[in-house]
């Protein structure tokens, strides 16, 4: 039996756009611990210090396989390198970077279709030119009390920018549909941070 093994493009999101998906390769798929077929993902959260050093990794969305979760966090912590995160005030701050790492093992080369997001944005129809599935990336400040503010498109202005109406709707939805994690320093004290989230747009 010949298996199709894939580490699909990770849904990387981060306020300074580090390429978290580039940390992983198909060789990282642990076929010895995965059932066949398997299609799933691990949602990881990296806390990064103002100097760019990874402080810790946590699992936000489990694959249901502890070994896969632990391996994913281990790879991200070991390989990730970040420049100092810069907050909206222009100074280095803590950051929380998120990524959903998608794994697939099957007897067919067909890739799974997974609607992944930190929260969902229901719409009646998509703006002209967009096709389902649509995922947005937003970034925002989070204060030590866990309040989000200054939400905006994470993509750079220009060709990669998302539809401004969808971004506005996603930022409004952020206040009711999502609870940010409060970043903490190594001593466990709450600190201001920049964070991000992936928004899955669902046509209803």
pTM assigned to the model: 0.81
**Residue 120 has which token pair?**
């969902």
Residue 38 vs residue 79, higher pLDDT? 79
Range(s) of the domain holding residue 30: 4-203
Give the pLDDT confidence of 51-78 residue by residue, as tens digits. Answer: 999 999 999 999 999 999 999 999 999 9
Q: What is the pLDDT of residue 10?
A: 44
Which residues are paired to 198 by β-bridges? Answer: 137
| 150 phi-psi bin (left φ>0, alpha ψ -120 to 50, beta other) | left
Instruction: Give rounded-to-5 percent helix, strand, coil for the chain.
Output: 15, 35, 45
pLDDT for 190: 98
Could you tell me which residue, 204 or 144, shows the higher pLDDT? Answer: 144
| Number of domains the chain is built from | 1
Residue 181: pLDDT band with limits 50, 70, 90:
very high
Q: What is the pLDDT of residue 162?
A: 84
């Amino acid at each position: 039996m010949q298996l199709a093994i894939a580490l699909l493009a990770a849904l990387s999101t981060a306020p300074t756009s580090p390429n978290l998906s580039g940390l992983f390769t198909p060789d990282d798929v642990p076929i010895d611990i995965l059932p066949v077929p398997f299609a799933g993902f691990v949602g990881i959260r990296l806390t990064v210090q103002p100097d760019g050093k990874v402080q810790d990794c946590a699992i936000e969305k489990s694959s249901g396989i502890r070994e896969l979760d632990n391996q994913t966090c281990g790879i991200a912590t070991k390989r990730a390198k970040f420049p100092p995160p810069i907050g909206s005030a222009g100074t280095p701050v803590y950051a929380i970077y998120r990524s959903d790492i998608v794994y697939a093992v099957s007897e067919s080369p067909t890739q799974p279709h997974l609607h992944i997001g930190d929260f969902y944005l229901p719409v009646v129809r998509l703006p002209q030119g967009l096709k389902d599935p649509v995922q947005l990336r937003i970034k925002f400040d989070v204060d030590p009390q866990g309040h989000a503010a200054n939400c905006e498109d994470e993509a750079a202005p220009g060709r990669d920018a998302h539809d401004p109406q969808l971004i506005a709707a996603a930022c409004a939805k952020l206040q009711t549909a999502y609870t940010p994690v409060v970043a903490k320093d190594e001593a466990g004290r709450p600190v201001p941070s920049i964070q991000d989230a992936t928004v899955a747009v669902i046509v209803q």
